[in-house]
Amino acid sequence: MITDYKIISKLGEGKYAFAYHVIERSSKKQYCMRILKLQKRNGISFEDMEIEVNVLECLDTPFVVKCHKHFEHTDRLVMITELCELGDFFAMINESKKEQKKFTENQIIDWMIQILLVMQQCHHQKILHRDINVKNIFLANDYSAKLGDFGAFKILSNSNDKASSIVTTYSSLAPEICAGHKYNHKSDIWSVGIVLYQLCALELPFYSTIIQQNYKN
């Protein structure tokens, strides 16, 4: 139950979801609590969250944000996940840009290896993440990268299958999606490349308004 947890602070807020730093009252362990609004217009259901949890459980890697528990509370879906106290890559990059201090080459290589190991497992199991960006990659206490938020994932029926709907952040859109074509796991790799560029340059290679306009054209 949601009352089994004490809220410490708000970690973030999206259009349909909130994230909190919480402590489980019985064990005193710290977690992240994701609360998603159950609304017809956003198409989110408890079954969708259960599928996401099952996807997370089948990925045997330390570089994915693990789910501890999930349940339904009134008109909300609640997911209790591993807490990444150091925040996400978006905040980390902004802080580095503010301090004018770039990441070392070795650190960037380590993070890329960790993210690509997750991609290897995902694509081996025909799972597309479809929303890889710096706001969905988190930093663990040991400074390792952890990919989270699999809410937009899609499981392909076979290795030659392709997806067509647009669910990712515009700034991470692969060229084939901008061109209105169907796409596969290669679009995830493009998005990882955008993350790599941001880690190196502390900014996007191009901005979503330009990409969005190109897509509409």
pLDDT tens column, 169-212 = 566 776 766 777 676 678 888 999 999 999 999 999 876 554 45
Spatial contact of 39 and 16, defined as CB atoms under 8 Å apart: yes
Query: What pLDDT shows up at residue 70?
Result: 85
CATH 1.10.510.10 residue window(s) in the chain:
89-216
Question: Catalytic one among 88, 131, 149, 188?
Answer: 131
- Residue ranges of the chain that CATH labels 3.30.200.20: 2-81
pTM of the model: 0.79
Contact 196, 112 (CB under 8 A): yes
DSSP tag of 213: H
Enter the DSSP assignment of 150: -
Query: Is 37 assigned to a binding site?
Result: yes
* pLDDT at position 153: 54
Neighbours of 205 (CB within 10 A): 12
CB-CB contact of 19 with 13 (8 Å): yes
C-alpha separations of 170 from 14, 114, 149, 200 in Å:
16, 24, 17, 20
Beta-bridge mates of residue 163: 183
Predicted pLDDT at 142: 92
Q: Which two tokens stand for residue 166?
A: 């647009």
pLDDT band for position 159 (50/70/90)? Answer: very low
Looking at residue 68, what is its pLDDT?
Answer: 87
- Establish whether 4 is a catalytic residue: no
Pick from 4-13, 17-26, 121-130: least confident: 121-130
CATH architecture of 2-81: 2-Layer Sandwich (3.30)
The CATH number for 89-216, chosen from 1.10.287.130, 1.10.760.10, 1.10.510.10, 3.40.50.1970, is 1.10.510.10
- Higher-pLDDT residue of 155 and 32 is 32
**Least confident window among 4-8, 76-80, 83-87:** 76-80
**Cα separation of 144 and 138, whole Å?**
8
140, 86 in Cβ contact below 8 A?
yes
